[in-house]
Amino acid sequence: MDIFVNDKKVSISRGMQVKHALIAYDQDLYKAAVEGTARVEDQNGFVVGLEGGLAEGVRIFVKSRSR
C-alpha cells in the first residue's frame, strides 16, 4: 500500500506500522523518533506512536521536538 511520509510516497506492505514506514523513508528519522528527538504526527496534527497502524493514503509527518 502507498502512504506518505513528509509528502513523499512510500510503498509498504499491509499490516506494517508507522515504524516500518519511517524505516522505508529514512532510517535516521526512525532513529530520531526512537530516541525521542523527533515525533510523528498524522495529517491532523495528532501525535502517533511508532507501533501505530496505517491505511492506504495516510499522511504522516516527522517533526523535530522543540526543547
Are the C-beta atoms of 33 and 22 separated by less than 8 Å? Answer: yes
**CATH number, domain containing residue 36:** 3.10.20.30
What's the domain range around 12? 2-64
3-state SS class at 9 = strand
In this prediction, residue 14 carries a pLDDT of 95
**Domain count across the chain:** 1
Closest by CA to 10, choosing from 65, 64, 63, 54, is 54
Are the C-beta atoms of 38 and 5 separated by less than 8 Å? Answer: no
3-state SS class at 47 = strand
pLDDT tier for residue 67 given thresholds of 50, 70 and 90: low
* Rounded-to-integer distance, Cα 21 and Cα 39, Å: 14
In this prediction, residue 65 carries a pLDDT of 81
The model's pLDDT over 12-60, given as tens digits with 9 standing for 90+, comes to 999 999 999 999 999 999 999 999 999 999 999 999 999 999 999 999 9
pTM: 0.90
